[in-house]
Structure 1
Amino acid sequence: MERVEAVVVGAGVVGLAVARALAQRGLETIVLESEAAIGTGTSSRNSEVIHAGLYYPQGSWKARLCVQGRNRLYPYAAERGIEHRRCGKLVVATSEAQLAALHGVVDAAARNGVTDLQWLDAHQARVLEPRLACVAAVLSPSTGVIDSHGYMLALQADLEAAGGAVAFASPVAEVQCRSQGHVVSVGGASPMTLEAGVLVNAAGLWAPSLAARFQGLAPQHVPSAHFAKGSYYALSGRAPFSRLIYPVPEAAGLGVHLTLDLGGQARFGPDVEWIVPDAQGRLDYRVDPMRADSFYAEIRRYWPELPDGSLRPAYSGVRPKLQAPGEPARDFWLQGPAEHGLAGLVNLFGIESPGLTAALALADVAADLALPTR
């Protein structure tokens, strides 16, 4: 049995960031990834938006870590040469009835420490985006987009420069959680057994099911997993907007929003479709072309000129939810030894948006939970 100081399960953006943080604190760190490449799950199936931190409840992990992570991510991307663009975002009210909710966005953002929002009347909004229809809008200049794969490659490079490594095609078969180190049995073509004082479960969608197999972790510390699929549809032709466009949040969520990739291609989505894994534990990422039919009316509230038949299937992602359909949204669950009583063990549950933005800040919290005395 090989002894290492830290094992991180999952080589998505959060797992790589956590491993980087641990390695830079001087721990010999190995990332176990069941797939053959980094970031094949949620980290590569999202809008690649750098969020400003507007909507999340005050004091929540999502609010705090989004703002902290965003403040660190732009300099990090610039220093590492990661392609990104601070393009800005408009949150738009398309009726007088939505103005109160739009003011609520400004108030919530201020409570979260986001102080750069700009209120625009309809004319001011159309000066920025002439094809936009709205009665008012809020400009978030700190919102942007980033090359998520380039971001993860930079995190991996930092990890390796600090002496860490990623082991691919290395699924976790069994874990024995003990008071003096955790024993991790690894399957795949090259089985091995590792003993580590620190174990971080950053398995994303599969974090709850992995934790359920941790021998020594009481069942009450393992949440139920729920899977919310979101489909994206690409616009045929170039978008007439240079900024992201989000409807004002309503009871059902953030609505159908327009995001832009680094090449200026517009995508609309995601919607929400609750799904379950198949008998082999696989998720269906196929995009149903018919689901785009419901997008047109929503988009035309802020872009009336959207042509018929102009949306085509792009891709989908699945968000790891801690709440069931119809239940209130839940915060990230960063679970450490103070909760479950097992030294060195950290479970990261429900790491959905804004996980990409928050990753650098989240990683430091996870490392602090694993190493409370260092």
Structure 2
Amino acid sequence: MHQVDLLIIGAGAIGLACAARLASPTRSCLIIEAQALIGSHASSRNSEVIHAGLYYPPGSLKASLCLEGRERLYAWCARQHIAHRRLGKLLVAVDEEELPALQRLAENARACGVDDLQPLDAAQLRQREPALRGVAALHSPSTGIFDSHAYLQSLLAHAERQGAQLILHTRATHLEPYAGGWRVSGLSAGEPFQLRAGQVINAAGFAAPALAQATQGLTGVPRQHLCQGRYFSYSGRSPFSQLIYPLPAANTAGLGIHATLDLAGQLRFGPDVHYLNELDYQVDASLREPFAAAIARYYPGIDPARLQPAYSGVRPKLSGAGEPAADFVIQTPGDHGLPGLVNLFGIESPGLTASLAIAERVAAAL
């Protein structure tokens, strides 16, 4: 039976960041991925935003790991020559009634350690973004955009230079502890396989809870909810020079349908929040009207005809519809009592921004 020192299950941003952090010439490291490509789901279906860390409850994993991960990610992109820009974003109060919420957001950001937000009044806002409607805003200079696909490739290349190996079309279905580590079974290209691993990182994204349920001796697996976020592109020249975020509606799971730019300057709007019973990436053109209505609150000059269905992503949430947002869960041997196993659950936004910081946390746990 094949044996490795470290098995990483899942080749999304989190699994690859863990591989880049932990692979070494003295530790055999194997990465297995069920799909045909790395980062096939959430890691490649997102806004490609480097988040500043404004929204999350102070003291939460999301807050601390986003802040740490943001700086690690900017530094990684600079060292690895990954295209990125500290573009900045505006968080906009469209009317007077939203000013208290804007103030609460500023206070929350400060409590999380974000100390560079710049308040803007209506005149300053019009000067920066003439097409934008709003009575006040906060400017976040630490928010940026980057090439997430190049980032994933750079993580894999770094891990492979340290001796890690990647096998695609390979899904782990069962984990069983034994005295020297873990027995792992599953399917590779449709054929059964078994191997032994001294340590295992379950970074399987959507599949992480199911694999945890099939792990002998493990309890306390959280319930997962699939939540789709759909995007529309906007044809023609963008009216904005930076990212535009409305204030999140109270008691909602997302940040509102916001405006983001890619590195080529293409404008897109999204994501919305749509809970699913099963994985689905379809974007229905009939959503154009509700998208346009939401966008028109802060961009009254929108031309709905320029909105085109683009793509969608699906978040692996640990909170259901109408429930307060749940934190990341990094389940370590100290939590479940099983040596050499780390499970990662509910790594939604800002998981991409936080990926290198999450990898540090996993490395410390092992």
- Normalised by the size of structure 1, how large is the TM-score? 0.94
| C-alpha distance in 2 between matches for 1:6 and 1:82 | 27
Q: How does 1:210-359 map to 2 (within 5 A)?
A: 210-218=211-219, 221-251=220-250, 252=252, 253-277=254-278, 283-359=279-355
Aligned residues of 1:52 and 1:70 also touching (Cα < 8 A)? yes
| C-alpha distance in 1 between matches for 2:274 and 2:166 | 33
**In structure 1, the residue corresponding to 2:339 is in which secondary structure?**
coil
Deviation at 1:181, TM superposition (A): 0.5
Q: How does 1:67-106 map to 2 (within 5 A)?
A: 67-106=67-106
Deviation at 1:197, TM superposition (A): 1.6
Deviation at 1:103, TM superposition (A): 1.0
| C-alpha distance in 2 between matches for 1:2 and 1:38 | 23
- In structure 2, the CA distance between the partners of 1:336 and 1:25, relative to structure 1 (3 Å rule), is farther
Structure 2 partner of 1:367: 363
Deviation at 1:27, TM superposition (A): 2.5
**In structure 1, the residue corresponding to 2:170 is in which secondary structure?**
coil
Please tell me the residue identity of whatever aligns with 2:209: P
**In structure 1, the residue corresponding to 2:90 is in which secondary structure?**
strand
Deviations 1:194-251 (A, max 9, x none): 2112101001111111111112223xx2111110011100112121101000001221
Deviation at 1:25, TM superposition (A): 9.0
| C-alpha distance in 2 between matches for 1:231 and 1:308 | 16
Deviation at 1:355, TM superposition (A): 0.4
Deviations 1:99-148 (A, max 9, x none): 11111111111111111110000111121112111000100011011111
Q: Tell whether 2:174 aligns with 1:170.
A: no
| C-alpha distance in 2 between matches for 1:177 and 1:223 | 20
Please tell me the residue identity of whatever aligns with 2:207: W
| C-alpha distance in 2 between matches for 1:144 and 1:232 | 18
Please tell me the residue identity of whatever aligns with 1:330: A
- In structure 2, the CA distance between the partners of 1:295 and 1:206, relative to structure 1 (3 Å rule), is same
Q: Tell whether 2:110 aligns with 1:110.
A: yes
Please tell me the residue identity of whatever aligns with 2:222: P
Aligned residues of 2:333 and 2:341 also touching (Cα < 8 A)? yes
Q: How does 1:50-199 map to 2 (within 5 A)?
A: 50-189=50-189, 191-199=192-200
Deviation at 1:57, TM superposition (A): 0.3
Stretch moving more, 319-328 or 185-194 = 185-194
Q: Tell whether 2:204 aligns with 1:203.
A: yes
**In structure 2, the residue corresponding to 1:184 is in which secondary structure?**
strand
Deviation at 1:262, TM superposition (A): 0.9
Stretch moving more, 87-96 or 102-111 = 102-111
How many percent of aligned residue pairs carry the same amino acid?
Answer: 52
Please tell me the residue identity of whatever aligns with 1:292: R
Stretch moving more, 91-100 or 302-311 = 302-311
| C-alpha distance in 2 between matches for 1:27 and 1:225 | 32
Please tell me the residue identity of whatever aligns with 1:262: L
**In structure 1, the residue corresponding to 2:120 is in which secondary structure?**
strand
- In structure 2, the CA distance between the partners of 1:127 and 1:24, relative to structure 1 (3 Å rule), is farther
- In structure 2, the CA distance between the partners of 1:25 and 1:106, relative to structure 1 (3 Å rule), is farther
Aligned residues of 1:209 and 1:225 also touching (Cα < 8 A)? no
| C-alpha distance in 2 between matches for 1:343 and 1:288 | 46
| C-alpha distance in 2 between matches for 1:226 and 1:42 | 14
Please tell me the residue identity of whatever aligns with 1:325: A
| C-alpha distance in 2 between matches for 1:29 and 1:186 | 18
How many residues are matched? Answer: 363
Please tell me the residue identity of whatever aligns with 2:131: R
Deviation at 1:24, TM superposition (A): 4.5
| C-alpha distance in 2 between matches for 1:305 and 1:245 | 14
**In structure 2, the residue corresponding to 1:215 is in which secondary structure?**
coil
**In structure 1, the residue corresponding to 2:322 is in which secondary structure?**
coil
| C-alpha distance in 1 between matches for 2:66 and 2:25 | 23
Aligned residues of 1:36 and 1:169 also touching (Cα < 8 A)? yes
Aligned residues of 1:177 and 1:217 also touching (Cα < 8 A)? no
Structure 2 partner of 1:280: none
**In structure 2, the residue corresponding to 1:313 is in which secondary structure?**
strand
Deviations 1:335-369 (A, max 9, x none): 01111110010000000000000000000101111
